[in-house]
Structure 1
Amino acid sequence: MAHALPLSLATQPLKQIAIDYTPEACSHCATSDTITLTYDSRGGARWRSPTRFQSGTFSALIRCPGGDTSGLNFNLYLSSLEGDKSQDEIDFEFLGYDRTLVQTNLYSGGEGNREKIHLLGFDASEEFHEYAIAWGSDAIEWRVDGKVVRREERKEGEGFPRKAMFLYASIWDASGINEGKWCGKYCGADEPYVCVYKDIRVPVVTADE
């Protein structure tokens, strides 16, 4: 029996962000509801929502950087706290070696290893597409342009994200992960690499500490 998701929960534009590092490589225009992340000789950058959320639907229109993006990871994800080894997390991750696919994953109490690869049917750098995470108490859906590409239901004895989470996005060099087998090896021939997010939407109700 399928569990219902809180699809009726209201969403609102994300008007404010916090920048975790390299603020000069992240620009935010609240008027146009657009955020850009740049990867170049300065490294990458990461932004997040100022508050945590307990559940709901999160979405953004994303246009990934073009050119030879091998080695880079760009993403949209929820995490209880980036860098915490016991984090809960729900991910959309673009693997720079191939922009025609996206990886989804989830963590509970720092335990992950639930990755799945999804073929998009398009190059994610050519135009904007909508990526959404619908997170409920009993199920999670990952959606691309309104289509559900993955659904995970809470199962007895299996970890499920429960902690209040921030919405994050970043661009970074992941060449060192699994000896370059995850995202490829970075070459940087087409710097700067710019990932653009717009129409970012988050739930109205927050559950910040």
Structure 2
Amino acid sequence: MAAVPSNHPTELLTKIVVDYTPEACHHSPETGEIHVVYDHRLGARWRSPSRFLYGTFGASIRCPAGDTSGLNYNIYLSSLEGDKLQDEIDFEFLGKDNTAVQTNYYTSGSGGREQIHPLGFDASEDFHEYLIRWSSDEIVWLVDGVVVRRDVRREGEPWPEKPMFLYASVWDASGVDEGRWTGKYVGSGEPYACSYKEVRVPIGTMLTEEEDESK
């Protein structure tokens, strides 16, 4: 892994939209912290209010502790969650193993570019910074300022180029691939909380409502 300089200006995200179960998502504008809880309410998902086209995105994250088998917690970009033709760029934690993280990206709903990266630490024990740098010609994923993956655009190949929201969620993924992806949910440690702070989005690439509607 190699270090890369920070060359995309960012600012703190001060407002969020909660897509579902707002009572399980706690946002403190004063501190900038966001806590997503998974229990009988089945988690929550938050996002930035607006889409962005390229730039640096991410947060310091402390993952849930305990037996988190079955859960998926994450931070990712998506042109629109649930759209079958979405572009997407992911950091995903697979609850069966808090010592690794998965990266992936989608173009027009097509993924299949998963990679698993050992972290060298337990992501539930402390906050660590996870950043995505996305441009028209490369995507770089960083953990604590160190590159864990870099994908460069190749001529003629599809590329994520739709404006995207910054999203994060906690959900039970036990049903994916018969539990082989994240493990099977046990829930012996409920409630589980994934904590985000210092959430960053690009300066100067947020689309206005009019620009967004034209995309």
Alignment partner, residue 174 of structure 1? 173
C-alpha distance in 2 between matches for 1:113 and 1:159: 13
Unaligned ranges ≥5, structure 2: none
C-alpha distance in 2 between matches for 1:160 and 1:7: 23
C-alpha contact (below 8 Å) 1:6/1:56 kept by paired residues: no
Q: CA RMSD in A?
A: 1.2
C-alpha distance in 2 between matches for 1:183 and 1:23: 24
Alignment partner, residue 140 of structure 2? 141
Alignment partner, residue 95 of structure 2? 96
C-alpha contact (below 8 Å) 1:7/1:134 kept by paired residues: no
Q: TM-score, normalised by structure 2?
A: 0.93
Specify the code of the residue in structure 1 equivalent to 2:21. T
C-alpha distance in 2 between matches for 1:9 and 1:120: 24
C-alpha distance in 1 between matches for 2:16 and 2:37: 16
C-alpha distance in 2 between matches for 1:129 and 1:32: 17
Query: Once the two structures are superposed, what CA deviation does each residue of 1:145-184 show, in whole Å capped at 9, x if it has no partner?
Result: 0000000001122211000000000000000000000000
Three-state SS of the structure 2 residue aligned to 1:24 is: helix
Query: Once the two structures are superposed, what CA deviation does each residue of 1:82-113 show, in whole Å capped at 9, x if it has no partner?
Result: 00000000000000000000000000111100
Alignment partner, residue 114 of structure 1? 113
Three-state SS of the structure 1 residue aligned to 2:97 is: coil
C-alpha distance in 2 between matches for 1:42 and 1:7: 38
Q: TM-score, normalised by structure 1?
A: 0.96
C-alpha distance in 2 between matches for 1:174 and 1:142: 23
Equivalence map 1:1-209=2 (5 Å)? 7-205=6-204, 206-208=206-208, 209=212
Identical-residue share of aligned pairs (%): 63
| Shift in Å, 1:6 | 10
Specify the code of the residue in structure 1 equivalent to 2:17. A
| Shift in Å, 1:207 | 1.9
Specify the code of the residue in structure 2 equivalent to 1:22. T
C-alpha distance in 2 between matches for 1:55 and 1:30: 25
Query: Once the two structures are superposed, what CA deviation does each residue of 1:106-156 show, in whole Å capped at 9, x if it has no partner?
Result: 001111000000000000000000000000110000000000000000112
Pairs aligned (count): 205
C-alpha distance in 2 between matches for 1:84 and 1:7: 32
C-alpha distance in 2 between matches for 1:31 and 1:203: 20
C-alpha contact (below 8 Å) 1:7/1:56 kept by paired residues: no
C-alpha distance in 1 between matches for 2:7 and 2:128: 22
Specify the code of the residue in structure 2 equivalent to 1:48. R
Specify the code of the residue in structure 2 equivalent to 1:201. R
C-alpha distance in 1 between matches for 2:158 and 2:142: 21
C-alpha distance in 1 between matches for 2:165 and 2:94: 22
Unaligned ranges ≥5, structure 1: none
C-alpha distance in 2 between matches for 1:125 and 1:149: 19
* Structure 1 stretches of at least 4 aligned residues deviating more than 2 Å after TM superposition: 5-9
